[in-house]
Amino acid sequence: MSLAPSNTLHPKRRRGINNPFTGYGFVALWMIGLLAFTAFPLIFSFVISFFRWGLLDTPEFVGFRNYIQMFTIDRMFRQSLRVTLTYSAFAVPLSLIFALAIAMILNIKIKGQSIFRTLYYLPSVIAGVAVSVVWMWMLQPDFGILNQFLSFFGIDGPDWLGDPNWALTAMIVVAIWSTSGPQVIIYLAGLKNIPQDLYEAASIDGAGRWYRFTHVTIPMLTPTIFFNLIMGIIGSLSTFTQAFVMTDGGPANSTLFYALYLYNRAFRDLQMGYAAAMSWVLFLIIVFFTVLVFKSSVLWVHYEAERK
């Protein structure tokens, strides 16, 4: 009895397998979605950035006037850019450091380790609006839990979201808490990939914990840090939900983030062409910082393959 595989498919079925259009049929829905919801809006936004369009009226071609107005006349554009860059300059590195510290703690082998990891990551799956509302309660000046805690030490806590000098700081604190969960998970995965023989070799040479951390853990973790840095930059430059829910850009425009100002221009002032131009400027800013980090990675990112 022959055990050779049978090749007795029906001729129509064989033609269907060999037909290249069969593969196109499988990806057709994905391609339609990509074109309709990504490619077309992208091209359309670029086109209307050269028009003055109030959404309800006929578009009027103005050339580069939207871009010129943005950099020469619009003071709120410069304010929103200043706020966003300041926020990113503090929130991104602080969140990276905080998440790494938490990951190092959660990487210690103790009983119930998975439970602690789950409890720490759980708040990260909560919707951004819900997180913002909870933090509004916590930062409330009169009965907020943070000021209540400070009062035990005789410290009169500030009006976190109502004082222009503290509002952006409060936003940075919220960002560190809300973005560290996913970063911790990624750090834990990176820590698991560090070869144990490196730690053993360092211990044999008499290296202490701090030396092993700075000369083994950090260098081998740089690819993970690099990834979290890129994602942190992109996320911080496009921050919207926190400012929209918690302060609406106030007080005194101290939390007027770029994405929030873009939203106001588009859906409150109905200046769609101007908002589209702002979105492309934001895209170029994100590309600039991303490319800058990629170019600098050759100086500080180390890969396992290089060690071999």
The pLDDT tens digits of the residues spanning 31-78 come to 999 999 999 999 999 999 999 998 888 999 999 999 999 999 999 999
pLDDT tens by residue, 244-289: 999 999 899 999 999 999 999 999 999 999 999 999 999 999 999 9
Q: Do residues 34 and 165 both lie within one domain?
A: no
Residue 192 lies in a domain: yes
Residue 111 lies in a domain: yes
Q: Do residues 157 and 234 both lie within one domain?
A: yes
**At how many degrees (to 10) do helices 128-138 and 167-192 cross?**
130
Q: Which residues lie closer than 8 Å to 232 by C-beta, 6 or more apart?
A: 91, 92, 95, 96, 179, 183
Residue 287 lies in a domain: yes
Which of 11-15, 109-113, 146-150 is most confident?
146-150
Q: Which residues lie closer than 8 Å to 271 by C-beta, 6 or more apart?
A: 52, 53, 54, 265
Is residue 102 within 8 Å of 180, Cβ to Cβ?
A: yes
Q: In the chain, how many domains are there?
A: 2
Using alpha carbons, select from 294, 192, 206, 110 the residue that is nearest to residue 215: 206
Average pLDDT (229-240) is 95
Residue 59 lies in a domain: no
Q: Do residues 205 and 167 both lie within one domain?
A: yes
Average pLDDT (170-182) is 90
Q: Do residues 21 and 167 both lie within one domain?
A: no
Residue 129, sorted as left (phi over 0), alpha (psi -120 to 50) or beta, turns out to be alpha
Residue 60 lies in a domain: no
pLDDT tens by residue, 126-143: 778 988 999 999 999 988
Q: Do residues 185 and 74 both lie within one domain?
A: yes
Q: Do residues 26 and 69 both lie within one domain?
A: no
Residue 107 lies in a domain: yes
- Owner of token pair 């604190």: 173
In the chain, which ranges are continuous DSSP H helix?
Answer: 11-18, 20-34, 40-48, 65-72, 75-106, 113-121, 128-138, 145-151, 167-192, 196-204, 209-212, 218-237, 241-246, 258-263, 272-300, 304-307
Q: Do residues 81 and 197 both lie within one domain?
A: yes
Q: Which residues lie closer than 8 Å to 136 by C-beta, 6 or more apart?
A: 161, 245, 246
Q: Do residues 281 and 151 both lie within one domain?
A: yes
Residue 53 lies in a domain: no
Give the model's pLDDT for residue 1: 47
Is residue 219 within 8 Å of 141, Cβ to Cβ?
A: no
The per-residue pLDDT of the chain, averaged, comes to: 88
Residue 54 lies in a domain: no
Bond before 251 cis per omega within 30 degrees = yes
Q: Do residues 135 and 16 both lie within one domain?
A: no
**Up-side HSE of residue 14: CA atoms within 13 Å toward CB?**
5
Q: Do residues 34 and 113 both lie within one domain?
A: no
Q: Do residues 16 and 69 both lie within one domain?
A: no
Range of the domain at 34: 11-48
CATH number, domain of 215, equals 1.10.3720.10
- Owner of token pair 């509002």: 167
Q: Do residues 100 and 23 both lie within one domain?
A: no
